[in-house]
Copies of this chain bind each other. A is one copy, B any other.
Amino acid sequence: MVTIGDVARRAGVSRSTVSYVLSGKRAISVATQRRIQEAIEELGFTPNAGARALATSQTMVLGLLLQFHADEFAPAMLQYVLPVSETARAHGYDILMVTDADGPRTIHRIGDSNMVDGFVLLDVTADDPRVPSLREVHQPGVLIGLPRDTREVDAIDLDFTEAARILVDHLHERGHREIVLVTPPHHVVERGGSYVWRFRDAAIERAARYDIRIHAHYGEAQGSAVRRSMNQILDIWPEATALMVHNDATIAALPTILHERGIRVPDDLSVVSLYSRDFGEEFSLPFTAVESAAYELGHTAVTRLVERIQKGREAVPPQVQLIAPAITDRGSTRYLLPS
């Protein structure tokens, strides 16, 4: 391994001078700089990250905590991972990705051993046990998802309440008076996935304001169960003119289900959803939808975290930020004539 000492010897300077050329924290004569640069290139020197971390107490690594749940296939999580990784790199950070089931212990293990400068927590639930651990550790952290207790935490999430309102408004404007809502599966609620009830409650409340009848059902997570349950739901509410879907497995199966029932969109039924464009394109149809904004969430989370790391934990007040959702009209809803 070639060290800073090798470079210094080759360039005929001290190690500190090499270090200062690397960091740019000191004025160095152009001649010396050139000699050092040459030596670095000739020897192929790259500073040892561990040594640097030890000397500076900065690892330039962020910890990313993912959670996998046995009852679901969550490939969509990758949509968050990518912006987190890219944004981190743009700020000079790498990502230590941890998928351990025991989140609290992992935070301590990684944090206490100083492997990272900060944490990003994905898929945060209402009473997420990782949040208290995050307070105990001396690195800052930012949450993607909303815990029940948001005091003193940095959290970012889509504004699911507003998303639901936007979709209900969209249907209301088009004259719909009876809507079926399919949410994520009930076990997500049990796990504390607050986005389920934030979206659901807001949809119900908004519909009530317009005197729209809304029938909310928990969807399923697996193809066959999805189809069975959706067919039952549609059987129960034959008068409904619109369907609001907040459930990946359901939106993927929807084309089949509707076709089997001979239902045309939007002629026979209007459909709105909450999903990502990429997902819809590959696995379903282009429905009018609110974008799940995974990229923006991941990007914002890391930007915030880096700011907090660099300015110190107390400089920036913790903040809960809800990203404003945007609807894209893809023509899957129709205007109802007043009867």
Binding site for B on A (CB under 8 A): 1, 44, 46-51, 53-54, 59, 61, 64, 68, 72-79, 81-82, 85-86, 89, 94-100, 108-110, 112-115, 138, 221-224, 248-249, 252-253, 255-256, 259-260, 278-286
Contact = CB atoms under 8 A, between A and B. Distances in A.
Nearest to A89: B100
Contacts of A50: 49-51, 53-54, 59, 114-115
B82 A114 contact: no
B96 A49 contact: no
Contacts of A112: 44, 46
Contacts of A85: 97-99
Contacts of A248: 282
28 contacts: A1-B114, A1-B138, A44-B112, A46-B109, A49-B113, A49-B115, A50-B54, A50-B114, A61-B96, A68-B82, A75-B76, A78-B78, A78-B81, A82-B99, A85-B98, A89-B99, A89-B100, A95-B98, A96-B96, A97-B97, A222-B281, A223-B283, A223-B285, A224-B281, A224-B285, A252-B284, A253-B255, A256-B256
Number of copies: 2
Main secondary structure of the interface of A (DSSP, over half): helix
A271 to B, nearest CB: 14
A279 B112 CA distance: 37
Contacts of A59: 50
Contact of A255 (B1, B61, B96, B256): B256
Contact of A95 (B1, B53, B96): B96
Given A48-B114, A81-B99, A223-B284, 4 more contacts: A1-B114, A48-B113, A75-B76, A81-B97
B286 A283 contact: no
A113 B46 contact: yes
A114 to B, nearest CB: 5
Contacts of A285: 223-224
B97 A110 contact: no
Contacts of A72: 282
A214 to B, nearest CB: 26
A48 B44 contact: no
A255 B227 CA distance: 11
A325 to B, nearest CB: 20
A110 B248 CA distance: 36
